[in-house]
Amino acid sequence: MIQVKNLIKVFGTKVAVDDVSFSVEKGEVLGFLGPNGAGKSTTMRMVTGYFRPTSGSVSLCGVDMLEEPELAKQRLGYLPENAPLYSDMTVASFLGFCAELRGLHGADRTRAIDRVLDLCFLDSVRNQSVDTLSKGYRHRTCFAQSIIHDPDVLILDEPTDGLDPNQKHEVRGMIKRMGQNKAIIFSTHILEEVEAACSRAIIIDRGKVVADGTPESLKKLVPGANSLDEVFRSITNSDTGAKKAA
Amino acid sequence: MSNRDIQNTLAVFKREFMAYFNSPVFYVIVVIFLLATNGFTFFFSRLLDSDDVSLATRFFVWHPWIYTVLAPAVGMRLWSEEHRLGTIELLMTMPVSPWQAILGKFLAAAVIWLIGLALTFPIVATVVYLGDPDSGPIISGYVASYLYAMACLAVTSAISAFTRSQVVCFIISVAFCLVIALIGDPGLTQTVVNAVPNGMEFVVRFISYFSFMDHFFEMTKGIFVLRDVLYFVSVIVVALLVTDLGLRSKRA
């Protein structure tokens, strides 16, 4: 459902994403791993149509993102990094605005809002201003926005960032449940999350895909490694010094 | 325009419009605007002391200067705020075309201004009560005034697309609106014409032709010329095109 081919993004002279290709099928949850600055967010921004790739192509459910952006975006739900929200709105009015942009009006709109308020445990704050919410609630509000139209493709940039352990557990469970009939990509720094929720993982480093496979198969990449953590450290370059085997 | 275009534009419009009321911006700006227009008209131009009730020289004449400061104050949040909050990423990954968003936002600010301008009706009531003014110049004066405000607003929208800072947007927009008002000032133009070498006057005249002022005063005199209306409309269209350009450049 998500087809990414030879994606390249150059900012000035810096190559942020260097020839990344992958595909995600329905029912798959793809974990997107990599050190800070590896190009995870940039790749996701190109897949969602926010950034225009320098070259390469993206298609969602067979619709090309560059040729028919509005059509492709209809199939997509996106949670950007840091969960941006309009601070002057209430939770319900924000979700209502997003529902309208998704083409939901009248009774459909009300039903969609109620559904995601319930799904993301936001009922208690529905009429509260976004400004006054704690980080966990803000995050869940933005997450609610991404699933309001029950999209086929879901792209989540660090969906568990800033959540407490209970909320993390809940969000992971939700991703796993929704993954059964959607194509999901989510990025994270937390490796146990990948084992808990993903059916597949990609490790990206300096703009290149360095590993692609199930969490189990990734562990076998590095002989003697017991955890994904060790694999991650040995195949990505740390920017804090000590370079390990590439 | 398809149905979908209208619905999306309307959704953005509604959100933006309500945002003005959810913050003090609208109230502060309308109050300042009304204080300024009434203050200038009654205390500086001494509308009540004169024998004629022409609004052009006592009321509309002040508008360009007021808009120079207040239109950027209304428009500066349009895109800067989106950049600062990061919601631009949300908006641009929705099935909304940039044009639907640009128009929706601009129209929200435009309607806010319409409300502000409509609230100056006591001045019209005053001159109608005291005298017997022609309705023609009043109507064309209001149209000119509104078009002037829209041009300033569109310029501000364009500048706000390039920066995440509302302060930067405000200052640059005010400077831009001020320059474009000043280059049409007859006194200033004459001074510059006297200063430049012979034969160069046409350059000065040409530049001053781009000022909002000339077109504005033609219209407030009650001469409703299509050319002047088209001038303002084309300024607005160009500024909105630049807004689109700014948004594109931010998305690299």
How large is the ipTM? 0.88
Q: What is the pLDDT along chain B (252 residues), one digit of tens a residue?
A: 678 889 999 999 999 999 998 888 889 999 999 999 988 888 887 777 777 667 777 888 889 999 999 999 999 999 999 999 999 999 999 999 999 999 999 999 999 999 999 999 998 888 888 888 888 888 888 999 999 999 999 999 999 999 999 999 999 999 999 998 888 777 787 888 788 777 777 788 778 777 888 788 888 877 767 888 898 999 999 999 999 999 998 876
Does A5 lie in the same domain as A66?
yes
| Cα distance between residue A216 and residue B211, in whole Å | 69
Number of domains making up chain A: 2
- Interface A–B counts its CB contacts (< 8 A) at 75
Best A17, A47, A50 residue to mutate vs chain B (most B CBs within 10 Å):
A50
Q: Which pair of structure tokens corresponds to residue A2? A: 């998500």
Contact B94 A98 (CB under 8 A): yes
Instruction: For residue B243, give every residue at least 6 positions away whose Cβ sits within 8 Å of its Cβ, in sequence order, or none.
Output: B79, B102, B106, B154, B157, B158, B160, B161
Q: Looking at chain A, which residue has its C-alpha nearest residue B81?
A: A86
Quote the minimal CA–CA distance from B162 to chain A in Å: 16
Q: Please tell me whether residues A2 and A69 are part of one structural domain.
A: yes
The verdict on residue A171 lying in a domain is no
> Domain span at residue A8?
1-75+153-160+178-246
Residues A90 and A118 in one domain: yes
DSSP A167-190: HHHHHHHHHHHHTTSSEEEEE-S-
Indicate whether A188 and A67 sit together in one domain: yes
CB A157 within 8 A of CB A80: yes
Residue A29: phi, psi to the nearest 5? Answer: -115, 115
Whether A100 and A109 have beta carbons less than 8 Å apart is answered as yes
Q: Distance (Å) from the C-alpha of residue A187 to the closest C-alpha of chain B?
A: 17
Residue A167: inside a domain: no
Look-up: residue for tokens 């006592």? B58
Picking from B4, B11, B97, the nearest residue to A97 by CB comes out as B11
**Partners of residue A93 in chain B, C-beta under 8 Å:** 18
Chain A residues closer than 8 Å to B96 by CB:
70, 73, 101
Q: Looking at CA atoms only, how far is residue B37 from chain A in angstroms? A: 30
Contacts of A184 (CB under 8 A, 6+ apart): A24, A28, A29, A30, A153, A154, A155, A156, A175, A178
A176 to each of A137, A190, B90, how far by Cα in Å?
A: 20, 16, 23
Does the residue A88 lie in any domain? Answer: yes
Residues A63 and A185 occupy one common structural domain: yes
Q: Which residues contact B154 (CB under 8 A, 6 or more apart)?
A: B106, B235, B236, B239, B240, B243
Instruction: Concatenate the DSSP letters of all residues of chain B into one string.
Output: --HHHHHHHHHHHHHHHHHHHHSTHHHHHHHHHHHHHHHIIIIIS-GGGSS---STTTTGGGHHHHHHHHHHHHHTHHHHHHHHHTHHHHHHTSS--HHHHHHHHHHHHHHHHHHHHHTTHHHHHHHHHHS---HHHHHHHHHHHHHHHHHHHHHHHHHHTT-S-HHHHHHHHHHHHHHHHHTT-HHHHHHHHHHSPTT-HHHHHHHHHTSHHHHHHHHHTT---HHHHHHHHHHHHHHHHHHHHHHHHHT-
Contact check, Cβ <8 Å, B93/A82:
no
| List of residues 6+ apart from B250 with CB closer than 8 A | B83, B88, B161, B162
Q: Assess if residue A165 is contained within a domain.
A: no
Q: Is residue A213 situated within a structural domain?
A: yes
Residue A170 lies in a domain: no
Do both A2 and A67 map to the same domain? yes
Q: Are residues A187 and A70 in the same domain?
A: yes
DSSP letter for A206, please.
Answer: T
| Structural domain includes residue A92 | yes
- Answer yes or no: do A23 and A70 share one domain: yes
* pTM of the full structure: 0.90
Per the domain annotation, does A192 fall within a domain? Answer: yes
Contact yes or no for B97 and A82 at CB 8 A: no
Q: Are residues A196 and A233 in the same domain?
A: yes
- CATH number for the domain harbouring residue A41: 3.40.50.300
Residues on chain A bordering chain B, Cβ-to-Cβ distance under 8 angstroms = 11, 45, 48-52, 69-71, 73-74, 76, 78, 80, 82, 84-89, 93, 97-98, 100-103, 105, 142, 145
pLDDT tens digit sequence for A102-152:
999 999 999 999 999 998 889 999 999 999 998 888 988 999 999 999 999
Q: Final residue of a domain: which of A111, A132, A150? A: A150
Name the interface residues of B facing A (CB cutoff 8 Å): 4, 7-8, 11-12, 14-15, 18-19, 22-23, 85-87, 89-97, 251-252
**Among A185, A193, A104, CA closest to A150:** A104
Task: Decide: B55 and B135 in contact? Cβ < 8 Å.
Answer: no
Same structural domain, A15 and A67: yes
B94: nearest CA partner in chain A: A73
* Statement to judge: residues A2 and A22 lie in one domain: yes
* For range A15-40, the mean pLDDT: 90
Give the distance from residue A127's alpha carbon to the nearest chain B alpha carbon, in angstroms. Answer: 14
**A6 and A61 assigned to the same domain:** yes
